[in-house]
């Protein structure tokens, strides 16, 4: 190793490769020793794991690194291993279910959304009415909670016909016209979607610049064509119903999966090695620090520790269950998914196959399909418990 270093380095006062070996040993002793130790461990540790048939769960802790007088090298590797998983218990599972029914009023709301998207918007010289858009220069003049860093909001667009617009604007801006000035205090609800504003009281000084009228298209077959998803009003309403039903079904399936995962993990509380948890948290912290360099590491670890334990416990359990129940992904399963992928992306099956091969995602795909089959198995075994519908999306 020292010969390699001697040939590749240049020391002051000597040409490359000509420095005395004694000097090379003195300068690079620690570096060479570390390299040799690393190479020896890489060469011997995997074989030791195989000989002892260990299912290693995390990186080893190395101690007692010694070069012996006879030229040998010894060390102690302490490792954590995956827990032995007995037969996975999955009886007494219960998952929620409910009837999925789409009301006509829900379809009407989506139609109204499409009408607003295709509205003809015109500046008008009159007082603002419900449904208009008001353009205003807004200035914050009171903000006790300091919810807003910025004070000026020029050319703010306030849609008086949008239910998401805070009610103070919807209630107090009808009647204003270009050139008017109005102060409006907005009391944001405690459950407001943006946490910065939750519970805040902010007063704005609004200078009205324009009032715009939204002229909505009539609901007819011509309007249906404008949406780009239907040729007639009937077809449009049917497609909206189909889409809402699919979304509601997807929501229900996600809820059922969460319940199955929770119940299986509770019924099989296998221990998760600390090394695995720490490796997971190291990865989470690293990802957080890339986007938020000042993020508190201790807080990140505390918040994500249980998430990591739950994730790894489920991963081990569903893999064990697949093995115990002989659940497998067949070539036909993979081919069916690829065909669907090709159809969704308007490409040929061959192109889809090439895309997956190039991205190296075939193994990931098979894992995903296997987990889906395990979930289908558990769903079939679970008892369906009817629950009331919590409300529309």
Q: What secondary structure, in 3-state letters, does 147-211 show?
A: CCCCCEEEEEEEECCCCCCCHHHHHHCCCCCCCCEEEEEEECCCCCCCCCCCCCEEEEEEEEEEE
Quote the DSSP letter at residue 58: S
CATH class of 235-386: mainly alpha
Query: What's the pLDDT at 11?
Result: 53
* Mean confidence (pLDDT) of the chain: 88
Write out the residue limits of the CATH 3.10.50.40 domain(s) in the chain: 120-215
pLDDT of amino acid 1: 44
**β partners of residue 67:** 73
For the question of whether the overall pTM of this predicted structure is more than 0.75, the answer is no
Across 138-159, average pLDDT: 91
Q: What percent of the chain has pLDDT over 70?
A: 89
Average pLDDT over residues 69-81: 79
Q: Tell me the pLDDT band of 31, cut-offs 50, 70 and 90.
A: low
- How large is the average pLDDT for residues 241-267? 96
The segment(s) of the chain belonging to CATH 1.10.3120.10 are 235-386
Question: What is the CATH number assigned to the segment(s) 120-215?
Answer: 3.10.50.40
- One of 3.40.50.800, 3.30.70.1050, 3.90.1170.50, 3.40.50.280 is the CATH number of 2-78, namely 3.30.70.1050
Nearest one of 61, 62, 95 to 387, comparing CA atoms:
95
d(CA 99, CA 390): 11
Instruction: Provide the token pair at 347.
Output: 């490409």
Task: Give the residue-averaged pLDDT of 227-239.
Answer: 97
The neighbouring-strand residues paired with 95 are 384
Band (pLDDT 50/70/90 cuts) for residue 393 is very low
Residue with tokens 């000509």: 18
The per-residue pLDDT for 35 is: 66
Exposure b/e, 304-315, CB count within 10 A at least 16 = b: beeebbeebbbe
How far from the centroid of its chain's Cα atoms is residue 378's Cα? 24
């Amino acid at each position: 190793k020292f010969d390699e270093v001697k040939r590749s380095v240049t020391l002051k006062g000597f040409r490359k490769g000509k420095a005395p070996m004694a000097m090379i040993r003195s300068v690079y002793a620690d570096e060479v020793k570390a390299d040799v130790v690393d190479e020896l461990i890489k060469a011997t540790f995997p074989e030791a794991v195989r000989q002892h048939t260990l299912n290693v769960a995390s990186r080893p802790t190395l101690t007692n690194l010694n070069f012996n007088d006879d030229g040998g090298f010894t060390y102690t590797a302490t490792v954590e291993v995956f827990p032995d998983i007995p037969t996975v218990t999955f009886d007494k599972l219960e998952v929620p279910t409910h009837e999925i029914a789409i009301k006509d009023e829900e379809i009407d709301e989506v139609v109204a959304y499409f009408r607003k998207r295709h509205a003809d918007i015109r500046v008008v010289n009159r007082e603002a009415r419900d449904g208009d858009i008001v353009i205003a220069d807004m200035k914050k003049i009171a903000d006790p909670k300091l919810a807003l860093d910025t004070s000026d909001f020029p050319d703010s667009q306030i849609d008086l016909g949008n239910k998401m617009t805070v009610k103070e604007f919807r209630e107090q801006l009808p009647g204003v016209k270009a050139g008017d000035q109005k102060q409006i205090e907005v009391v944001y609800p405690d459950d407001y979607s943006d946490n910065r504003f939750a519970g805040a009281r902010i007063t704005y000084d609004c200078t009205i610049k324009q009032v715009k009228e939204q002229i909505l298209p009539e609901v007819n077959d011509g309007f249906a064509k404008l949406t780009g998803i239907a040729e007639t009003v009937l077809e449009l309403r049917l497609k909206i119903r189909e889409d809402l039903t699919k979304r509601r079904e997807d929501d229900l399936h996600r809820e059922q999966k969460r319940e199955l995962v929770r119940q299986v993990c509770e019924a099989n509380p296998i221990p998760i090695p600390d090394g695995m948890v720490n490796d997971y948290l190291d990865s989470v912290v690293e990802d957080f620090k890339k986007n938020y360099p000042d993020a508190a590491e201790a807080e990140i670890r505390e918040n994500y520790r249980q998430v990591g334990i739950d994730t790894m416990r489920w991963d081990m359990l569903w893999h064990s269950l697949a093995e115990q129940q002989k659940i497998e992904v067949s070539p036909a399963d993979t081919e069916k998914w690829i065909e669907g992928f090709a159809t969704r992306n308007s490409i040929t099956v061959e192109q889809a196959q090439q895309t997956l091969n190039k991205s190296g995602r075939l193994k990931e795909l098979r894992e995903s399909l296997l987990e889906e089959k395990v979930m289908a198995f558990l769903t079939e075994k679970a008892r369906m418990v009817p629950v009331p519908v919590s409300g529309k999306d």
